Structure 1
Amino acid sequence: MIKLENEFLLVEMKEAGAELTRIFHKDTGIEYLWNADSKYWGRHSPVLFPTVGKLVDDTYFVDGASYHLGQHGFARDRDFKVVEQTENSVRFELDADEESLSIYPYKFKLSIIYTMDENSVAVSYEVENTDNKRIYFSIGAHPAFHLPLTEDTTFEDYYLDFGTEENLETLCLEGPYRNGEIKKIVDKPSRYLSLNYDLFKNDALIFEALKQKEITIKSDKTSHFVKVTFKEFPFVGIWTAKPGTPFVCIEPWYGIADGAGKSVELRDKAGIEHLEPEAVFASEYKITVG
């Protein structure tokens, strides 16, 4: 277990999946990150790479050859190396190897960097193309936050604050795949969305191209909050599991699940990113707690 600590926070992560596993605020005494209780969901904050969401039949093609990946790719199940650590940051790396090339035929270096600053944790992604050809990939985050944050509140006491009025329309899912439909969550542009389990009866809410690209979990019954800022990410998913689950996820994504139908060439997959040889993709999101 790797630890970072400052005046405000104690943050932990592990080499397995380069996964963030704890955000504890010393002043509030709150554990903000989900504890990975497998009764509900056995992860804290997995890294999604090189795909986000579900592939049709767990299959995709590269130049006509078929490859197979489970939901959200393989990085979350691989061991990363810690290559640099300072008082306030740690850098994890994962390189392509024979195992990864058998399911994802591209050479790459994936770096995950965690940096603390007061009551915030910035999570940075870097993907380097170490191949001699263009590579295609998606990458995304899946942090889960305890909800309720205090014992005297309930899940339904909380709402999402989008920072400005947004057209809250979700890309609809049919099972794990997009069905091509878009559904309004609320009838008119709104800054706020009250949380309830019925919102997630068809799995995650998926928003594209939000204006403000920030979401804060708030309640009128407590001053405590979690804010996720994702200025460059084109998609964000909001998810919890079955009714009664004591967490909610805010998931910034570069990529999205397949549409229902047939498996596709990776280069044609919705939301896919690409990199030329020696090029580096970089982006970050930030979690702020209080």
Structure 2
Amino acid sequence: MDHTLASGRISAIIKADGAELCSLKNAAGHELLWQAGPAWPRHSPILFPIVGRLKNDELRHRGKAYPMTQHGFARDMPFAWRERTKTSCTLELTDDAASRQRFPFAFRLAIRYAVNDADLDVRFEISNTGDETLPASLGGHPAFNWPLLPELPKEAYAIHFSNDEPAPIRRLKGGLLREKPEPTPIEGKFLALSERLFADDALILDRPASSSIRYAADRGPSIGLHWQGFQQLGIWSKPDGAPFLCLEPWRGFASPLDFDGEFSDKPGIMKTEPGETEILSYRISVG
């Protein structure tokens, strides 16, 4: 079941399956979100309880291994509607017997979408409903059309960061984090976009100085992304002509190539104590 939000400036459609944003249009009715074509069958999946991959696709907890595929299971689960209005909606996923076969922890994940003028606010609340520490990662994965304006070439677009980004970036090998960082392709606050950037998979900023970016060309629609609580940023597309660009705020990242330990000891993991709730959010601004 889908639900539509509208502000007069933008409209958005959210579906219960995966609590996934599946449409984002501006006031002119121009679709900005990738429409899950053959190149990649998703729009904006929720990454939980992991971001990226674990070694051997296994989560280790107290000596036992649990099957856990890339980006976790939330993106393939039906969420329950908790609230639906013309401008906002809240969906919720809680642990059950099936989830505990893959992720042996109690949790409640609530996701709220709200439109306000030309902004779409996405708020995540991850609550520990159990009696032991909850280790998890959480990420957004919105895919935008690239180019946003069909008549423009991809190379007309760039990403503008709110701060200079001199730090090295991280790359993946077989879905796992390579040991050595690489020099960043970002020049100051500016990243020129081209398919060549993604010949080696995603660009991962594991310690970004910025908390917002703007994806734009010299004309046509633009996308602003601002995040709070997230600590990493992934930028991804496929290098074979796929017409989408993913801008991904993360709390966590793939396992390092040499890490094979307890899930709770994995680098980048978020730990929530019993009875506590972590709140993370990002905002998409349509220009």
Task: Confirm or deny a common fold (TM above 0.5).
Answer: yes
Kept in 2, the 8 Å contact 1:171–1:207? The answer is: yes
Aligned pairs (5 A) from 1:62-81: 62-81=61-80
- Rounded to whole Å, the distance in 1 between the matches of 2:168 and 2:41 is 29
Instruction: Report the CA distance between 1:34 and its aligned residue.
Output: 0.6
Find out whether 1:44 has 2:43 as its counterpart.
yes
- Rounded to whole Å, the distance in 2 between the matches of 1:232 and 1:276 is 17
What's the % identity of the aligned pairs? 34
Q: Residue in 1 aligned with 2:178? A: 179
Find out whether 1:225 has 2:254 as its counterpart.
no
Instruction: Report the CA distance between 1:151 and its aligned residue.
Output: 2.2
Gaps of 5+ in 2: none
Instruction: Report the CA distance between 1:49 and its aligned residue.
Output: 0.4
Find out whether 1:196 has 2:194 as its counterpart.
yes
Q: Residue in 2 aligned with 1:242? A: 239
Instruction: Report the CA distance between 1:189 and its aligned residue.
Output: 5.1
Out of 70-79 and 126-135, give the one that drifted further: 126-135
Q: Residue in 2 aligned with 1:272? A: 269
Instruction: Report the CA distance between 1:274 and its aligned residue.
Output: 0.9
Aligned pairs (5 A) from 1:195-214: 195-214=193-212
Kept in 2, the 8 Å contact 1:175–1:202? The answer is: no
Kept in 2, the 8 Å contact 1:59–1:263? The answer is: no
Kept in 2, the 8 Å contact 1:25–1:289? The answer is: yes
Question: One-letter code of the match for 2:125?
Answer: E
Higher strand share: 1
Out of 156-165 and 69-78, give the one that drifted further: 156-165
Task: Provide, for residues 203-225 of structure 1, a one-character-per-residue CA deviation record: whole Å limited to 9, x for no partner.
Answer: 000002222211111112x1421
Gaps of 5+ in 1: none
- Rounded to whole Å, the distance in 1 between the matches of 2:167 and 2:152 is 25
Question: One-letter code of the match for 2:4?
Answer: K
Question: One-letter code of the match for 1:108?
Answer: F
Task: Provide, for residues 158-211 of structure 1, a one-character-per-residue CA deviation record: whole Å limited to 9, x for no partner.
Answer: 01100232215211222211111111133x851111001111111000002222
Kept in 2, the 8 Å contact 1:168–1:190? The answer is: no
TM-score normalised by structure 1 residue count: 0.95
- Rounded to whole Å, the distance in 1 between the matches of 2:223 and 2:110 is 25
- Aligned-pair RMSD on alpha carbons? 1.3
Q: Residue in 2 aligned with 1:3? A: 4
- Rounded to whole Å, the distance in 1 between the matches of 2:172 and 2:239 is 16
Find out whether 1:132 has 2:131 as its counterpart.
yes
Task: Provide, for residues 111-162 of structure 1, a one-character-per-residue CA deviation record: whole Å limited to 9, x for no partner.
Answer: 0110111111011111111111111100001000001111220111101100
- Rounded to whole Å, the distance in 2 between the matches of 1:276 and 1:6 is 37
- Rounded to whole Å, the distance in 2 between the matches of 1:216 and 1:251 is 13
Question: One-letter code of the match for 1:12?
Answer: I
SS of the equivalent of 1:224 reads: coil
Find out whether 1:31 has 2:28 as its counterpart.
no
- Rounded to whole Å, the distance in 2 between the matches of 1:231 and 1:211 is 13
TM-score normalised by structure 2 residue count: 0.96
- Rounded to whole Å, the distance in 2 between the matches of 1:209 and 1:173 is 16
SS of the equivalent of 1:164 reads: coil
Kept in 2, the 8 Å contact 1:143–1:250? The answer is: yes
